[in-house]
Amino acid sequence: MRHSGAPNMLSVMRALHNDKCLCLFNSIALTTDHDTVDLMSNMNVKRTQFYKIMCRLLESGLIRRIQGKYSLTAMGRVVYYAQSLIGAAVQDYWKFAVLDSLQDIDMPKEEHQEIIKTMIDDKLRAALGAPT
């Protein structure tokens, strides 16, 4: 594995750019102490593709390998959390569309905040700048 310094946004996004990369990253995130055999048996990828994905995840600083076992780094845990926020936002897309349409209506700010509180989960509400 080659290190070219600190990872950047582009290297992180490239490491997670498709379903197989995300699936492998999530597999490592959801269980502990994966070794190569465990991970390869759960994936439907060729050996070379598997190692290419793992190399990207390692070089981007999202995972680490200690004594043959893979786990998320601290940064990997933050990226995994951010990914869960994106997933929740996509799942609640229609709720955000409703909130966008409510911005065109003249209503008191408190009422608007109450609607947000009722419709949107705490972790997503924080991203909207609404009180939790």
Model confidence pLDDT, tens digit, residues 104-115: 888 888 888 888
What pLDDT does 33 receive?
Answer: 65
Q: With 70 as the cut, is the pLDDT of residue 132 above it?
A: no
Q: For residues 59, 63, 23 and 46, what is the CA-based torsion angle, rounded to 10 degrees?
A: 60
Q: Which single residue is written with the structure tokens 């940064």?
A: 75
Q: 98: which 2 tokens?
A: 């409703």
What pLDDT does 46 receive?
Answer: 85
Which range (38-42, 55-59, 91-95) has the least confidence? 38-42
- Residue range 33-46: mean pLDDT, rounded: 76
76 to 57, 63, 94, 102, 116: CA distances (angstroms): 9, 6, 29, 36, 30
Which of 28, 26, 49 lies closest to 38 in space, CA to CA? 28
